[in-house]
């Protein structure tokens, strides 16, 4: 088949340059004609090159895809490459020639053409004058290719369909998703079910006649092929329903942001990120609006962020309505390209944890209540016993006890992380989140764990699970996202929790710059047997907080320097087996005999030079 595309005049290049260009393009196509992913990229980059704005050279300098595209097309022909890089008309003609050659060699597939058409129709680019003509010509070119393709296949292909496809077509109205027949689903769900079923039956390989069969299938389950659906409504519907998303992706997940021309998958992945790894963006904007007295709607914020992101990256307006059948074609193209490019990753399903006996669950609940009240003497031994018996949630509390320290036991991060790992391996989401945040696993592993676990723990926190709320606050605190930490730890304290006083005090001291408020929290921590807080109180008196108070013109929040008081609290800490407190006594003692005494105490309690406490992160952050 051969459909002419001649909107850009050939005068942009000399005859010799045109000959060189044709040879280069033919060579590239020959090398990649069996690589569907590369052919798809050639098409999208060609369309981008033809529709670029007047600021072509500046656009080119910022577009890695186009630079790679022209480098591949022109190869070692430096003169031709320089001309294309400097002349918008030459670049457009080269792109036009590439599309023409791909069409002549029957390399434009039906689903690819539909995806390109949808992008052109939903483009954010202002279309007027010359650019308007280019858009119109491209749309007509792809429509004609699709028409020619259907006619050609109807002539040469036998009018028979795959038996499995025909069986599926005849039974689709009785197929079900989560107990609901396809015919009773909403339109977005019907499209998802059709796309996934069709993809699985064909194995990602189809003929144009197979794709046309889908129009009949759509009518069978009461969705109009000519009806319209808003791009963004479809994306939100799929992203917001875990079962529907699992159906679409075949039990896999999108492991990174997709290429910009996979618009629906790009929007779905961005929404997921805003609820997991990039949740801090939404929460930051939300906090800024609230501090300005504006009521923030998280749902609307996410919508705006996603739509602006896609508009910027793909130049596509998600408010555009798309034809139901065309969207079905685009989703098939998205799935096939994503599978070819390794975009999807198999979901790792953890082994199902055995349900604890009723008496063990009851014992665990009772121990947790005592632990959250800071009754450690009874609860910690119970929790250790429950951990041995396989009660996974007990490990989250043991992590807390051993990492931050309690009563006469100073923090022991290594022991704490062993419990977090044990609970994580047993599929407890709180333990998994704590282990990801506090261990030294790679950043990539950490982000992957956050992606999987944050939604689960957030649901638990929303359901008023105090341990989940506390874990969220602690993880944000450790990652130095102090605004988010404050939000969850405040929520935990308001629910009557007593285990976060030290962290709340540190944020008052270093973030809010309020010494008196910090002192109040440290005193509450010590009262609840977190004796490490005595060291924090001693540090405040040793250094004083007057300078911070003066800076903020709020002397009522100042703590005056008082070395004798500092030593009083360091001594209290040392008396409760806090080696750091004994070391502070050494540092603040002048007498040789007394220094020797406290040095001996510190060594017996396990103090080592250069030892860091868990509070060091926020102290370094403040510096």
Residue 547 has pLDDT above 80, yes or no: no
Phi, psi at 434, each rounded to 5°: -65, -40
Give the per-residue pLDDT at 127.
46
For residues 585 and 594, give the distance between their C-alpha atoms in angstroms, rounded to a whole number. Answer: 9
Mean pLDDT of the 129-153 span: 74
- Confidence at 154, pLDDT banded by 50, 70, 90: low
Higher pLDDT, 75 or 354: 75
For residues 411 and 172, give the distance between their C-alpha atoms in angstroms, rounded to a whole number. Answer: 60
pLDDT tens track for 240-264: 888 899 999 998 889 889 999 899 9
Beta bridge mates, 230: 321
- Confidence at 549, pLDDT banded by 50, 70, 90: very low
- Closest alpha carbon to 220 in 247, 199, 200, 193: 193
For residues 467 and 474, give the distance between their C-alpha atoms in angstroms, rounded to a whole number. Answer: 10
Given a contact cutoff of 8 angstroms between Cβ atoms, the answer to whether 303 and 282 are in contact is no
For residues 326 and 110, give the distance between their C-alpha atoms in angstroms, rounded to a whole number. Answer: 10
For residues 586 and 602, give the distance between their C-alpha atoms in angstroms, rounded to a whole number. Answer: 8
Mean pLDDT of the 329-334 span: 95
Largest distance between two CA atoms of the chain: 104
For residues 568 and 593, give the distance between their C-alpha atoms in angstroms, rounded to a whole number. Answer: 18
- Closest alpha carbon to 120 in 142, 102, 99: 142
pLDDT tens track for 194-206: 999 999 988 888 8
The residue whose two tokens read 């500092």 is 566
Give the per-residue pLDDT at 552.
43
pLDDT tens track for 21-65: 888 888 888 888 888 888 888 888 888 888 775 555 555 555 555
pLDDT tens track for 344-399: 887 544 443 444 555 667 888 888 888 888 888 888 999 999 999 889 999 999 99
Q: Is 436 left (phi over 0), alpha (psi -120 to 50) or beta?
A: alpha
Residue 617 has pLDDT above 60, yes or no: no
- Confidence at 616, pLDDT banded by 50, 70, 90: low
Residue 458 has pLDDT above 60, yes or no: yes
Among 78-87, 93-102, 331-340, name the one with the lowest average pLDDT.
78-87
**How open is the CA angle 171-173-177, to the nearest 5 degrees?**
105
What percentage of the chain reaches a pLDDT higher than 70? Answer: 86
Give the per-residue pLDDT at 328.
96
Whole-structure pTM value: 0.51
pLDDT tens track for 205-233: 888 888 988 999 999 999 999 999 999 99
Higher pLDDT, 156 or 298: 298
Higher pLDDT, 357 or 492: 492
Give the per-residue pLDDT at 304.
93
**Alpha helices, DSSP H only, in 343-375?**
358-372
Give the per-residue pLDDT at 282.
85
Mean residue pLDDT across the chain: 82
In the chain the domains, ranked by start, together with CATH numbers, are 10-156 (no CATH), 163-346 (no CATH), 358-622 (1.25.40)
Beta bridge mates, 530: 407
Distances (CA, A) of 306 to 192, 233, 286, 532: 21, 12, 15, 44
Residue 518 has pLDDT above 80, yes or no: yes
Higher pLDDT, 425 or 280: 425
- Confidence at 126, pLDDT banded by 50, 70, 90: very low
Residue 459 has pLDDT above 80, yes or no: yes
Asked whether the CA dihedral 366, 371, 376, 379 is positive or negative, the reply is positive
Q: Which two tokens stand for residue 178?
A: 């989560």
The residue whose two tokens read 């739509």 is 307
Give the per-residue pLDDT at 553.
43
């Amino acid at each position: 088949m051969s459909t002419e595309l001649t909107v850009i005049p050939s005068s942009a290049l000399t005859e010799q340059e045109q000959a060189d260009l044709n040879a280069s393009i033919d060579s590239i196509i020959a090398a990649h004609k069996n690589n569907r992913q590369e052919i798809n990229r050639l098409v999208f980059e060609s369309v981008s090159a033809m529709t670029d704005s007047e600021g072509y050279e500046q656009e080119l300098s910022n577009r890695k895809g186009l630079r790679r595209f022209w480098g591949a097309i022109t190869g070692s022909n430096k003169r031709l490459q320089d001309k294309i890089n400097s002349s918008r008309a030459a670049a457009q003609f080269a792109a036009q020639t590439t599309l023409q050659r791909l069409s002549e060699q029957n390399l434009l597939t039906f689903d690819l053409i539909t995806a390109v058409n949808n992008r052109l129709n939903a483009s954010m680019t202002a279309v007027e004058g010359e650019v308007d003509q280019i858009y119109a010509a491209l749309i007509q070119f792809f429509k004609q290719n699709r028409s020619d393709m259907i006619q050609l296949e109807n002539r040469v292909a036998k009018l028979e369909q795959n038996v499995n496809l025909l069986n599926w077509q005849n039974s689709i109205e009785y197929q079900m998703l989560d107990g609901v027949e396809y015919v009773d689903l909403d339109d977005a769900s019907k499209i998802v079910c059709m796309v996934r079923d069709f993809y699985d039956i064909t194995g990602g390989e189809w003929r144009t006649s197979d794709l046309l069969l889908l129009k009949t299938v759509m009518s069978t389950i009461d969705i109009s092929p000519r009806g319209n659906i808003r791009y963004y409504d479809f994306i939100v519907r799929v992203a917001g329903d875990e079962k529907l998303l699992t159906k679409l992706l075949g039990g896999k997940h999108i492991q990174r942001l997709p290429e910009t021309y996979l618009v629906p998958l790009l929007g779905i992945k961005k929404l997921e990120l805003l609820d997991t790894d990039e949740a801090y963006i939404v929460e930051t904007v939300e906090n800024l609006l609230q501090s300005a007295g504006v009521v923030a709607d998280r749902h609307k914020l996410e919508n705006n962020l996603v739509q602006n992101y896609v508009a910027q990256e793909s130049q596509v307006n998600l408010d555009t309505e798309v034809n139901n059948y065309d969207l079905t074609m685009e989703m098939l193209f998205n799935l096939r390209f994503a599978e070819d490019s390794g975009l999807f990753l198999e979901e790792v399903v953890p082994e199902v944890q055995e349900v604890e006996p009723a008496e063990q669950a009851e014992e665990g609940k009772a121990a947790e209540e005592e632990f959250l009240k800071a009754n450690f003497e009874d609860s910690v031994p119970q929790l250790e016993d429950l951990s041995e018996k396989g009660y996974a949630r007990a490990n989250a509390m043991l992590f807390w006890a051993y990492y931050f320290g309690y009563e006469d036991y100073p923090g022991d991060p290594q022991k704490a992380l062993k419990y977090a790992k044990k609970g994580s391996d047993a599929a407890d989401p709180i333990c998994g989140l704590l282990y990801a945040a506090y261990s030294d696993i790679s950043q990539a592993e950490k982000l992957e764990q956050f992606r999987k676990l944050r939604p689960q723990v957030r649901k638990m926190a929303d359901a008023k699970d105090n341990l989940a709320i506390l874990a969220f606050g602690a993880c944000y605190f450790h990652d130095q996202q102090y605004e988010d930490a404050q939000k969850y730890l405040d929520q935990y304290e308001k629910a009557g929790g007593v285990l976060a006083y030290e962290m709340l005090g540190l944020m008052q001291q270093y973030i809010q710059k309020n010494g008196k408020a910090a002192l109040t929290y440290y005193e509450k921590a010590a009262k609840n047997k977190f004796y490490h807080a005595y060291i924090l109180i001693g540090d405040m008196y040793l250094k004083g907080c007057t300078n911070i108070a003066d800076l903020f013109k709020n002397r009522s929040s100042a703590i005056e320097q008082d070395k004798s008081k500092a030593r009083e609290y360091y001594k209290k800490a040392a008396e409760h087996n806090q080696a750091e407190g004994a070391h502070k006594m050494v540092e603040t003692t002048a007498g040789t005999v007394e220094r020797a005494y406290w040095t001996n105490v510190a060594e017996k309690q396990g103090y080592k030079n250069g030892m860091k406490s868990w509070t060091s992160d926020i102290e370094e952050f403040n510096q």
